[in-house]
Amino acid sequence: MNTYETLSLEALEEHVLLVHLDRPEARNAMNTQMGFDLRDLWQEIYIEPGDLRAIVLTGAGDKAFCAGGDLKERNGMTDAAWQRQHAIFEQAVLALIECPVPVIAAVNGAAYGGGTELALCCDFIYAARRARFALTEITLGIIPGAMGTQNLPRALGERRAKEIILTGEPFSAEQAFEWGMVNRLCVDDRLIEETLATARRIAANAPLSTRRAKRVISLAREVDLHSGYALELEAYNRLVPTEDRLEGVRAFNERRRPVFKAR
C-alpha cells in the first residue's frame, strides 16, 4: 500500500484497514492534495484489493471528520483552477463508490459539505454522538458537487434532503440516525472500537461473496426488480464453484469457523 501526504493508513490484523483523513489542523478539510490522495487510494484498492476485506474511514483528531472543501486554499482561485480541483474531487468520490471492498464511515466529529458527502459515499455510516452534519454549499453560492444531491435523498428521502440542502442548516448525529442516514450512534470514545468490530465481522466472511453482494446491492437502486434479480442470480451462480463456498459448507458441518481464501 502506498503512503499519502494527507491520509494515514493503519493495517489492522490481516484484512482490515483503518484510514484517517489526516489534516487535523484544518479540520481534515479536503485540499487538492487530499483529492489526489483519496482518488489514488481507492483506485489502488480497485486495481489490487489484495487481502483487504473491510475498510474504516474516519478523521484524525476528535473535532472533525471532514470540514468539506478547504476554503482557505480555494480563496482567490480562478474559475478554471476551481473546476480543475473539483474534477479531482469528482474522480475521488467516483473511485470510492466503485471500491470493491466495503467501506464504513466512522464520523467522529463535524462532517460539513464535502465531509457529509464523503460519508454518504461509503457503504454505511457509524457516528459519534458529538458528530454534526451539514450540506452548506448553497450558502456559498454553489450546490453539493460530490454526489450529495444524489446520495442524500436515497438515504433519507427527497423531502428531507431538499430541506437539508436548501436551508444549509446543520443537523445532529441523533437526527441523522432517526432519519436513517446513520446506521449506529456510538458513545464518542467507543466509535472506532464499535466500527472496527463491524469491519472485523465483515472481514470474517467470504470476501468474494462480500464484494459481489456489495455490488449487486448498490445496483438495486439503479434497475428494475427483475433486472436486479437477474444480476443477483448471476453473482450467486458465479460463487457456487468457488473454493470459499465449499469451505463455508464444510466448516458449517464440521462446527468450526471457516477459513476463506478469496478463491
Residue 126 is classified by DSSP as E
* Grid cell 437539508 in the structure block, residue: 164
Return phi, psi of residue 14, to 5°. -100, -25
Neighbours of 16 (CB within 10 A): 20
SS3 25: helix
How far is 87 from 241, CA to CA, in rounded Å? 41
- Whether 234 is a known active-site residue: answer no
Catalytic residue among 117, 163, 178, 194: 117
Q: Are the CB atoms for 6 and 31 separated by under 8 Å? A: yes
Using a 10 angstrom Cβ sphere, with 0-12 exposed, 13-18 middle and 19 or more buried, the burial of residue 9 is: middle
- Whether 48 is a known active-site residue: answer no
Q: Are the CB atoms for 23 and 59 separated by under 8 Å? A: no
Catalytic residue among 14, 98, 137, 243: 137
Q: Give the three cell numbers for residue 87.
A: 474534477
How far is 21 from 38, CA to CA, in rounded Å? 9
Q: 133 forms bridges with which residues in the sheet?
A: 111, 171
* Residues labelled catalytic: 117, 137
